[in-house]
Structure 1
């Protein structure tokens, strides 16, 4: 049991901790103090559901339907390009670099919906959780223990990311830091979108 759990924990952490749209979004929410725990928990819940779906059978379905992954790839690329454009717009506008206050914060509902979009429109999430972790987990002696380890990795990582960013917020609230962060977010998202467009979706 513990071996399968540790395998899931290690593999899940290795995939989830890679820089991606989810990580960048949760980090940004933590720095801006815009409901970072809400964003983190939405990512965790989505990861858990997708991991379970993959480990308990959905990986085989997606592997046999490449059109679904192809549609997700292009839809995700378009969404990431749009989100990158918004980050560039924030970096360009002087007012967007001021320290956030109560009036500037987006509502919890807006953050929740945006997190769902960042997560569910990103095909890398499906490839990592459903296809890869699902395929590996289904081959374990105890698939449920493997899934539990992978879900634990998601929970620990996103909570640490959200809470750690919030602690650093007072030191990272300077306008020039915000400009650099928004530019970095835009470049990373554009790089991810370019990778999605230029690299055909592969299944194991």
Structure 2
């Protein structure tokens, strides 16, 4: 494996994996919005980032080893995840809308409202694994990786590099903008935006699930 990593084809595949990964992962979706909010609250951010990175690592390499075949043989699994994802996103959209419409006292109050570390980690896991777009991204990564033949693990490593880069940027960005969220209005605007994003994702998935 070490000798393979020294081959030029490995680095070419790795660079392609980074480019593909950034294109797939660097979007403000459900997981990203959740990470941003937790980062702004300075609540369990490290634990959440570690969990998200581990999940991405496991499934990126699993996709190269055959996740696409599993999804093809069990189409019901994809449908089940889709509708669980719709329900989960709608629930979080309602929670965010409630926060946006309810008076808060800024960052200090938000900290007191933070769930436990266990709840935050479970929520991060849900935003990842109950998101059908996550599974679609993994299938795409697995499909593209096989075009690199023996260097496909290099492609997987590149995709993982992109994932971790995006997670670090989200965490750093949240901490950078935290001082702006000392005001009540900023939190209400953020939660309003998150509610709209989550609801939009949920209705988009439902539309896809019904085949309309």
- The verdict on a shared fold, with TM-score over 0.5 as the criterion, is yes
Q: How far 1:200 sits from its partner (Å)?
A: 3.8
Tell me which residue corresponds to 1:145: 154
* Structure 1 gap ranges (5+): none
How far is 1:201 from its partner? 9.0
1:21 aligns with 2:30: yes
Distance 2:186 2:75 in 1: 41
Which residues of structure 2 form unaligned runs of 5+? Answer: 1-9
Aligned with residue 123 of structure 2, among 114, 119, 124: 114
TM-score by length of 1: 0.92
Q: Assess, with a 3 A threshold, how the Cα gap between structure 1 residues 144 and 3 changes in structure 2: closer, same or farther.
A: same
Higher CA-based Rg:
2
Distance in 2 (alpha carbons) for counterparts of 1:150 and 1:196: 24
Given that residues 41 and 159 in structure 1 are in contact (C-alpha distance below 8 angstroms), is that contact kept between their aligned partners in structure 2? no
Alignment partners' CA distance in 2, 1:41 and 1:52: 17
> Aligned equivalents of 2:209 and 2:60: distance in 1?
23
Count of aligned residue pairs for this structure pair: 200
Which structure has greater helix proportion?
Answer: 2
- The separation in 2 between residues aligned to 1:169 and 1:15, in whole angstroms, is 26
Task: Choose from 13, 36, 42 the match for 1:4.
Answer: 13
Q: How far does residue 105 in structure 1 lie from its aligned partner after superposition?
A: 3.4
Aligned-residue RMSD, C-alpha: 1.7
- Work out which of the residue numbers 180, 195, 201 in structure 1 matches 2:189: 180
Residue equivalent to 1:194: 203
Change (3 A) 1:51 1:76: same
1:33-44 counterparts in 2 under 5 A? 33-44=42-53
Q: Equivalents in 2 of 1:27, 1:103: separation in Å?
A: 17
Instruction: Name 1:170's counterpart in structure 2.
Output: 179
TM-score computed with the length of structure 2 as normaliser? 0.89
Report deviation, 1:39: 1.6
1:151, distance to aligned residue in structure 2 (A): 0.4
Q: CA deviation at 1:71?
A: 0.9
